[in-house]
Copies of this chain bind each other. A is one copy, B any other.
């Protein structure tokens, strides 16, 4: 469930945003609003880089910092940020330490001027590529994949006519998940890995084109959705139009979108590859009602991400949907736990139960996942203490059993409750009356038949996983 900064959570890696305004308007503030809409995808650091396509070639102005969009940018940030093309990024670190050096976008100078890169996803051959580069004399100032990608673009650019060709050639060498936004002095380029792990969409507002991780960012800035970037596609946006290179695309059935975008990561008001995230969650709830029915008085979601599935369960079962929790929106990223404190539980600070809503009731509580089980157990206990007669837990995803190599920060297997326990044992641990998970074979229906990656449930990945753990440990 979505208690921000909760350690008992899965985490997304990043959100990306790019824009090119052909009318020459400054874009920094639009990127800022767009990043607000993508903030749920990463809260550790963020950054904006802009350039003026009509100014001195390749002069890039950027600002990056640790913290939320709200914390990093001030009114003054925008005073010097003149430019009609730009990229933005929000980050949660899976690969690369959590330091300011690793904040994105990566801004660099290369043989043809400047580049700005923002990247979402995880490469599984980054270490290998990094080592190859090192053996030709490369130096690395960050531990993020974007730097490896940038090097490859820079090298391919020596032998290509255009930057987009260099991006295509570089992309061929990358294994893993990448949704990439690249800004060159006169072009905005978007690229998505052939499996389409991570989302990337195209929008338009008047004479400006936008690339963004999710459609909710388009709605927030008042842009209309044009289409998704295809898995494997490289799109190049210039005033002359939008060009597409689909040479990396795979047959559709080999695509493998990350199902967790639908289950939990993406905002419910986004659509990914044509499928509504909200509707997918409603469907997951309906499937739970069909596959794991139980008699009860009330269906509630653990806020925020459990709400849609709870509503789906209620619709399907006919059991009333309601709210059982009050979430404290003021408990932010920087919440500290004073050393004095011993008796106060930080879960209680973030979430309280509406006793009057649940007292005496048989409650079905829908959450999106169980990772370690500790938070789920605490919430079940809170419901009981508030007078719930029964607590039936339904999870809108199958149990996690395997690591993710493509950008989701899943704890190691020994910490995953489902790796060492049966569903019945988990039920006992969290103290629920009954417990039901979404069935794996419901996932395809959930995503309306879109090919998805189920690796974290099945251990079968769309590509050979790396032999060793690839999470970097180089720290500055």
Contacts and interface: CB of A to CB of B under 8 A. Distances in A.
Interface of A: 4, 26, 28-30, 32-33, 36-37, 39-40, 43, 49, 56, 58-62, 68-71, 73-75, 77-79, 81, 101, 106-111, 114-115, 134-143, 147, 150-151, 154-155, 157-158, 205, 216, 219-222, 267-269, 271, 276, 278-279, 304, 307-308, 311, 315, 320-323, 326, 328-332, 334-336, 338-341, 343-345, 348-349, 352-357, 473-476
Given A70-B332, A111-B134, A111-B137, A349 B36 contact: yes
A34 B101 CA distance: 25
A29 B221 contact: no
A407 B321 CA distance: 35
A49 B221 CA distance: 41
Contacts of A349: 33, 36-37, 220
A60 B141 CA distance: 11
25 contacts: A29-B338, A29-B344, A36-B331, A37-B352, A61-B475, A62-B476, A70-B330, A71-B334, A73-B338, A78-B339, A101-B107, A109-B139, A110-B138, A111-B137, A137-B155, A138-B138, A139-B154, A220-B349, A221-B348, A222-B343, A222-B345, A267-B326, A268-B354, A276-B355, A321-B322
Given A26-B340, A33-B349, A269-B353, A474 B109 contact: yes
Given A29-B344, A33-B341, A220-B349, A140 B356 contact: no
Task: Determine which residue in A69, A268, A279, A326 has the highest number of CB atoms from chain B within 10 A of its CB, and name it.
Answer: A326
Given A59-B474, A108-B139, 9 more contacts: A32-B338, A36-B330, A69-B330, A110-B134, A137-B151, A137-B155, A205-B343, A269-B352, A321-B322
Contacts of A134: 109-111, 154
A115 B315 CA distance: 56
Contacts of A474: 58-59, 109, 114
A352 B26 CA distance: 24
A108 B474 CA distance: 10
Given A28-B340, A110-B139, A36 B356 contact: no
A138 B154 contact: yes
B336 A74 contact: yes
Contacts of A348: 219-222
Contacts of A49: 476
The 7 closest A-B pairs by CB, nearest first: A137-B155, A29-B341, A29-B338, A29-B340, A111-B134, A276-B356, A78-B338
A143 B108 CA distance: 10
B107 A344 contact: no
A471 B37 CA distance: 38
Contacts of A322: 311, 321
B326 A269 contact: yes
A311 B307 CA distance: 14
B158 A75 contact: no
A110 B140 contact: yes
B111 A135 contact: yes
A212 B24 CA distance: 49
Contacts of A320: 315, 321
B323 A36 contact: no
A30 B70 CA distance: 28
